[in-house]
Amino acid sequence: MTGSQVMHFTLHSHAVIDPVLTPAMRAHPAWLSWLKHVELFSLAIKHELNVSDVTRLDDLQLEYTQLFELVPEYEGLFRPKHHFLAHLARDVWRFGPPRGYWCFGFESFNRVIKAGAQHSNWKRSSLSIMQYWSMQSARGLVKRRRSQWCEVAPALECLC
């Protein structure tokens, strides 16, 4: 799944999964932890956050962490990224909504890098990535130019 697909699944997971859960499953700490995580994420990705939102982010982070620690299956899975959530409210207060400085859009570029490395069979991968990216960029430029030609000169449709 791409990062975008994961994000959209996360945002809609409650509506998708909840109808098939039994009452016992809905009461399980893993589900409660997930719902709190979704609530926290939904608030964090807003374009604008006010003071009460930042306070709520901090509260949600604490609630999520407490619920996460209650899940027996998650024992030993607490990672640094969980700790970074403790700084989320302060970071939003200092820098604004995470959408303004997250790397989400840039991470999709890793797919291009990986494809270039795979073309080299992981040998001389830096050179292969550079050549692959250069060719992809050139193809994109040619494709855009062709589409512009088609708009300007419809008689050149055979080239488009």
pLDDT tens for each residue of 114-130: 888 887 777 888 888 88
Same domain, 70 and 122: no
pLDDT band at 150 (very low <50, low <70, confident <90, very high): low
The domain in which residue 147 lies consists of 111-159
What is the pLDDT, as a whole number, of residue 66? 95
Same domain, 143 and 100: no
What is the pLDDT, as a whole number, of residue 160? 45
Count of domains for the chain: 2
Same domain, 119 and 99: no
Same domain, 144 and 80: no
Q: Identify whether the C-beta of residue 38 lies closer than 8 Å to the C-beta of residue 9.
A: no
Question: Which burial class, exposed, middle or buried, applies to 38 when counting CB atoms under 10 A from its CB (0-12, 13-18, 19+)?
Answer: middle
> Residue 121 and residue 106: Cα distance in Å, rounded?
24
pLDDT tens track for 125-144: 888 888 888 888 888 888 77
What is the pLDDT, as a whole number, of residue 156? 45
- Reported pTM: 0.69
Q: Which residue has the higher pLDDT, 108 or 18?
A: 18
User: What residues have CB less than 8 Å from 95, skipping those under 6 apart?
Assistant: 101
Same domain, 22 and 86: yes
